[in-house]
């Protein structure tokens, strides 16, 4: 058991040095474009919906190695459980809650090695309101893994996003 623990610790240490070395030696172009997929967990004000998925186009405009401006354009779809009800005439109806939301957001990102913090704001159709998004993420190789919390009007949801840089 000790040998396995030491081996796993060494593997994790090597991986962290590799990610750090890559982030230190990587020359970021002024414009980076990537696509991302997201899983959204509806929270406050979205009781009818159980989950959501999204596809987003992302653009990073790098000022230097630590600061960048962001632009995201994406589509999210939220769904809930199908519910049946009988009206006063005895007819059965089904309700399958579904909401499409297009997001148009922009903001700033600051990098602390492979980890970054960002804040975005923008407009969300489907909710028809302006909102803001604080987020934290990590970039390794050509992948971007981000956790975000979106607040739009009276609705809120948490997001896990995985992106791939081209």
Under 8 Å between Cβ of 95 and 79 = no
CA 152, CA 146: separation in Å to the nearest integer? 19
Q: Hey, what domains does the chain have and what are their CATH numbers?
A: 30-165 (2.40.160.20)
Nearest 5°: the CA angle 70, 54, 71 is 10
Report pTM.
Answer: 0.73
Task: Looking at 26-114, list the stretches that DSSP marks H as alpha helix, in order from N- to C-terminal side.
Answer: none
Residue range 14-69, pLDDT digits in tens: 445 444 544 555 556 788 899 999 999 999 988 888 999 999 999 999 999 899 99
147, 27, 23, 120 alpha-carbon torsion, rounded to 10°: -20
């Amino acid at each position: 058991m000790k040998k396995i623990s030491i081996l796993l610790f060494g593997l994790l240490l090597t991986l962290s040095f590799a990610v750090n070395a890559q982030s230190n030696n990587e020359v970021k172009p002024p414009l980076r474009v990537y696509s991302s997929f997201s899983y959204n967990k509806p929270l406050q004000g979205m009781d009818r919906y159980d989950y959501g998925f999204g596809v987003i186009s992302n653009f990073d405009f790098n000022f230097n190695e630590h600061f960048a401006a962001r632009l995201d354009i994406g589509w999210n779809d939220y769904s809930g459980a199908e519910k049946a009800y009988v009206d006063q005439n005895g007819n059965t109806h089904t309700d399958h809650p579904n909401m499409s939301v297009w997001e148009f957001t922009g903001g700033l990102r600051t990098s602390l090695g492979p980890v970054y913090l960002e804040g975005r704001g923008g407009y969300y159709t489907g909710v028809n309101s302006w909102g803001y998004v604080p987020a934290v993420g990590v970039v390794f190789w050509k992948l971007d893994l981000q956790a975000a919390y979106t607040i739009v009007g009276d609705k809120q949801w948490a997001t896990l996003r995985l992106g791939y840089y081209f």
